[in-house]
Amino acid sequence: MLSAFSFATIGLEMGVSIFVGWYAGQWLDERFETRPWLMVVFLFLGLASGFRSLFRLAKRAARDAQDDSPDPPESVG
């Protein structure tokens, strides 16, 4: 069963993954003088990582909701 804490952390997880992607891209751009291309690439990688986490949480929540639902009564006859 998913807790409310799992849903509360998704915003933080999304923000951190985007920030880490942006920061890594900025650092690599300064190091290799490719501004702004690596920052853009890593920003999109951070966005993809954040949405992947969101998708995995939604998938797990749907699976848990399906497991918690009562089974329909079987028909007789």
Most confident of 1-5, 23-27, 53-57, 67-71: 23-27
Residue with more model confidence, 17 or 73: 17
Supply the pLDDT for residue 5. Answer: 84
Domain count, the chain: 1
Within-domain flag for 1: no
Assigned domain for 72 exists: no
Q: Is residue 53 part of a domain?
A: yes
Q: Tell me the mean pLDDT in the region 8-20.
A: 92
pLDDT given at position 34: 95
Does residue 15 sit within a domain? yes
Residue range of the domain that includes 30: 10-60
18 assigned to some structural domain: yes
Q: What is the pLDDT of residues 33-56, one digit of tens each?
A: 999 999 999 999 999 999 999 999
What one-character DSSP code corresponds to residue 72? Answer: P
Q: Identify which of 76, 20, 9 has the alpha carbon closest to the alpha carbon of residue 48.
A: 20
Residues 46 and 19: beta-carbon distance below 8 Å: yes
